[in-house]
A and B are shown apart, each in its own frame.
Chain A
């Protein structure tokens, strides 16, 4: 049985490789916000209040492009609605927690943290303090995101644009799903999601990001039925 501290540290270690892509992306996000003409305090407030990677850039781009704030807020909500799926998966492992702890831990659920903690949870179901792993991944992400966006805001885009570091984001998610390419059913689900996301890319409010997972989960349900 691992202690709380060991689980927290394990969570930190499991997510830290992803900082290779998260930190440059955070710097870019911060710098773009200021370049678009928003007040530095507002750009930083987003990292604290929204704490949601790409949705922050979309929000500012929409506002600066003249979209109404209703459209910008709705887009952030739709982009981040994928967290509902993460929560549904995680709820199984977090159900013993008190309501207050559930409310607190929810704030630090992010893509990479969900992915790494979910992998850990599946292998270590019997651990008593599993949620400390999720706190470890989430807090590491939170601290790095605050520092990265803040340095982008203060120092500007000191990451050379020619390097195309935004490309590190798809790469970080390739690293997360690549081992599931061994399973044919997962490959089918991934291709369904990927192709749907390209097909629906122009759907309003960036809704491709939730439409394609829903289609892919329907395909997964069909595959499960065929397996029986």
Chain B
């Protein structure tokens, strides 16, 4: 039963991946749409970033002094200047750990 649902969820997910790649040709998208599609990364990823920072595991908003906000800010600053993915992630995690283990503990 669960396996059937997993297979349906898998087919659905595959369709989301395949539809636009395999069934759409370049001519079907006008220049205006292509210009808007340039913004896809900026229009999609904040929907993963913001809830990941500002909403906790129980679906509630975090406090304004939550260590995650500080960690995210550090990651933004380090990422902006270093242009390095590993540095960005590590800086965010380490500053977050520093707060949860030494300051708030």
The chain A residues found within 8 Å of chain B, CB to CB, are 17-18, 20-21, 38-39, 42, 45-46, 49-52, 54-55, 59, 63, 69, 72-73, 76-77, 80-92, 94-95, 99, 102-103, 105-107, 109, 111, 115, 118, 162-181, 185-186, 189-198, 201-202, 208-209, 212-213, 216-217, 220-221, 224
A50, B76: Cβ atoms closer than 8 Å: no
A208, B51: Cβ atoms closer than 8 Å: yes
15 contacts between A and B (CB under 8 A): A17-B86, A72-B9, A80-B12, A86-B40, A87-B17, A89-B37, A106-B17, A106-B18, A164-B97, A170-B49, A177-B41, A193-B43, A193-B44, A194-B49, A221-B32
| 6 pairs of A and B residues whose beta carbons are closest in the complex | A87-B20, A170-B52, A49-B10, A17-B85, A216-B43, A194-B46
Identify which of A45, A51, A105 contacts B21 (C-beta below 8 A): A105
A-B contact count (CB 8 A): 270
Known contacts A106-B18, A193-B47, A217-B36; is A171 also within 8 Å of B92 by CB?
yes
B13, A91: Cβ atoms closer than 8 Å: no
Task: Give chain B's interface secondary structure class.
Answer: helix
CB-defined contacts of B6 to chain A, threshold 8 Å: 42, 45-46, 49-50, 59
Identify which of A63, A91, A220 contacts B43 (C-beta below 8 A): A220
Chain B CB count within 10 A is highest, among A39, A81, A165, for A81
CB-defined contacts of B3 to chain A, threshold 8 Å: 42, 45
